[in-house]
Amino acid sequence: MIAALHTACAAAVLLALATPAVHAAQNKPHQPAANATAQGKYVERGRYLVKVGGCNDCHTAGYGMSAGKVPEKDWLQGDQLGWHGPWGTTYPTNLRLSMNALSEDDWIRMAQTMQARPPMPWFTLHQMDKEDLRAIYRFVRHLGPAGKPAPAALAPGVAPKGPAILFPAPPAK
Ligand code: HEC
């Protein structure tokens, strides 16, 4: 009895899983339109994630100071404002250049494994699900490459020439 129920359940699950595929097959003549809509959804979601995920706070010059009033075409081009601490001085990268130079799969792999110096919250990227990472990539792809590379990072103890935010040493463990 239990085994029979089990099989019935499995069949129901299989049926549920199979339905979208049947649907997709029926939609075949409209595939380009359907793909454009799916792509639009990714771009829209990517825009949202970049906004609420705080990427602009560091990777877009003047974003925080203007309460987010930087036109979207200028987003994610990196910043000349350095972050100075025990790790040296880092500059938020121009993501419009770095991400547009990667394939979607390479970006996902990188986002899931990368480590960077502070204050980049790389550990947050590790926690994003794959579809969210894909959406961010497609949004940045949609914006296209722009701007120039951010200044190269400076080694610990080297004084930055331009403006930089000073970080204290992390609390002792
Ligand atoms: C608090 C500031 C800050 C925030 C917020 C932030 N970043 Fe960064 N990010 C940096 C800095 C600084 C670097 C350069 C780190 C280094 O040189 O080691 C960096 C580096 C990176 C890199 C690696 C270098 C490259 O371009 O390939 C990626 C990818 C990245 N950030 C993506 C993101 C994304 C996506 C978000 C939003 C989810 C984000 N960052 C949010 C400051 C930040």
Closest-CA residue, ligand 1 atom 1, reads: 119
Taking alpha carbons only, the member of 128, 127, 130, 87 closest to residue 105 is 130
pLDDT digit of tens for each residue in the chain (173 aa)?
444 444 444 444 444 444 444 444 455 556 788 888 999 999 999 999 999 999 999 999 999 999 999 999 999 999 999 999 999 999 999 999 999 999 999 999 999 999 999 999 999 999 999 999 999 999 999 999 999 999 999 999 999 999 999 998 778 87
| CA pair distance 173, 111, nearest whole angstrom | 28
Count of C-beta atoms within a 10 Å radius of residue 49: 17
- Can you tell me which atom of ligand 1 is nearest the CA of 136? 35
pLDDT the model gives residue 172 = 83
pTM: 0.83
Q: Is 93:150 a contact under the CB 8 Å cutoff?
A: yes
| CA pair distance 3, 9, nearest whole angstrom | 10
User: Regarding beta strands 88-90 and 82-85, do their DSSP bridges make them parallel or antiparallel, or are they unpaired?
Assistant: antiparallel
Tell me how far CA of residue 66 lies from CA of 28, 74, 150, in angstroms.
Answer: 46, 13, 20
Q: How far is the CA of 36 from the centre of ligand 1 (A)?
A: 29
pLDDT the model gives residue 28 = 56
Domain boundaries in the chain?
Answer: 55-168
Closest-CA residue, ligand 1 atom 40, reads: 55
Cβ–ligand 1 contact at 74 (below 6 Å): no
